[in-house]
Structure 1
């Protein structure tokens, strides 16, 4: 393994085939939830991948039965109480989206089980997204009491249209891998026991293709995402502004207590 990746703790890296780097999110938190270390590493890894001449294609997946369990609730609490933590995580969230978009190497995601939060950013912004039929994809922001920032506004409407995006993002309605494929949110859907093999097959085809043709095609297509940059920046700013409000405190308490949230209805907006 290159010294470039020596310091990563929550991202486990291996080479299933020559020139194919597999990144596995592996957190001690439940379902690979993104704690502060993983969140920082997810924002950093794509610059290292882009600069690594030995990488032709990348696979991003999760350890065990989960892809990504969302944001670690301890980190969410810190963000709601500490402005320095809030602004650091905001920058990481911004960098995560833009470094994936600008990474020249083709990225394949292999999503199984729960796919939520920072991991889902990489899962859906990947160039080829593959979900197990049993995957459970959900954007949980409004359930927590903050705007759907992260990646949602930049890519969901482009993938599955505005009507479906509003339905799933406003209501936090979960999708199976099959439903995600049906509405165009992911590229492919396969049986769970075929997921890793299919991801490796696709990554191998990408790695064996013309590097310039594939990377330049990706660059051109991602201009659709770059044009949505102001929409993304607004959504992310509104999300993080929400971490200073009462709704996120109620959302966080309801998750800890395993009950429905009771948000105040008298909103001046």
Structure 2
């Protein structure tokens, strides 16, 4: 190297952060099933909206399921984000899995392996993301969206929201997050009642049993969620993130429970019960498991 050659000035941390932020903004814009924007001072709160591509409810097809998994890695890499608000578009928070994708899971072993891996990554990415996440739940909340809503650090639900884990009605074990999260939030007795029977509960009831952090009138839902996110963004970031990671060790201690439930769920997609569950959904009728 020529000692007389002028050296390039060192780049500043601010410049580096701006470059990373610009690159992440381009990645956010590439998501097709999530609408992502920055809000508040310096854009420190990231607003992540699951899009209602069917005009009614956000549903997770192959692309949506993958994007809901990957977004948390991008959030964790974003130096400008101090809090996230996750919400649904249209008539509810989350409408569950797209029926075409669910049918693929009953027929295609490769699809089962891929979606199982994504379901595992979704939970672990949420648990390891240091940025605090606030969910704003309205209307129906089921499926992959509910996974993220329940694993959020602060969950705010409209009083009339309708929360349900529908796995056993579909004919598969309650995997994804349910066996991991529900017993720790609301106790084993309530968890078994709601997960075995697919018994829905309102946001008000969910708050009463400890399944969500807060229940508010629907008109107050987004203002309250944004207010919580703003407080988190204004707080001591090191302390908040360290506290989140410490508390999430409770979930991680139960990782064997999660892994078992996920394996049993995806094993079940190859069973005749799952095919009957899908047929019942498509034909809009109660499933007939007793005739199998």
- Give the TM-score, by structure 2 length: 0.89
2:282 matched to 1:256? yes
**Could you say which structure has the larger radius of gyration?**
2
CA distance in 2 between counterparts of 1:256 and 1:123 reads 26
Contact 1:147 1:239 in 2 (8 A): yes
Gaps of 5+ in 1: none
> Post-superposition shift, 1:264?
3.9
SS across alignment from 1:66: coil
Match of 1:175 among 201, 220, 225: 201
2:137 matched to 1:114? no
CA distance in 2 between counterparts of 1:16 and 1:55 reads 10
> Post-superposition shift, 1:65?
2.0
Match of 1:162 among 188, 191, 196: 188
2:57 aligned partner: 31
Contact 2:87 2:135 in 1 (8 A): yes
2:29 aligned partner: 6
- Give the TM-score, by structure 1 length: 0.97
SS across alignment from 1:55: coil
Contact 2:138 2:218 in 1 (8 A): yes
Aligned pairs (5 A) from 1:1-269: 2-17=25-40, 18-29=43-54, 30-264=56-290
> Post-superposition shift, 1:27?
3.4
Gaps of 5+ in 2: 1-21
Which of structure 1's runs of 4+ aligned residues deviate more than 6 A? none
Aligned residues: 266
CA distance in 1 between counterparts of 2:76 and 2:211 reads 25
CA distance in 2 between counterparts of 1:217 and 1:21 reads 20
CA distance in 2 between counterparts of 1:64 and 1:264 reads 36
What CA RMSD, in Å, does the superposition of the two structures yield over aligned residues? 1.1
CA distance in 2 between counterparts of 1:265 and 1:214 reads 53
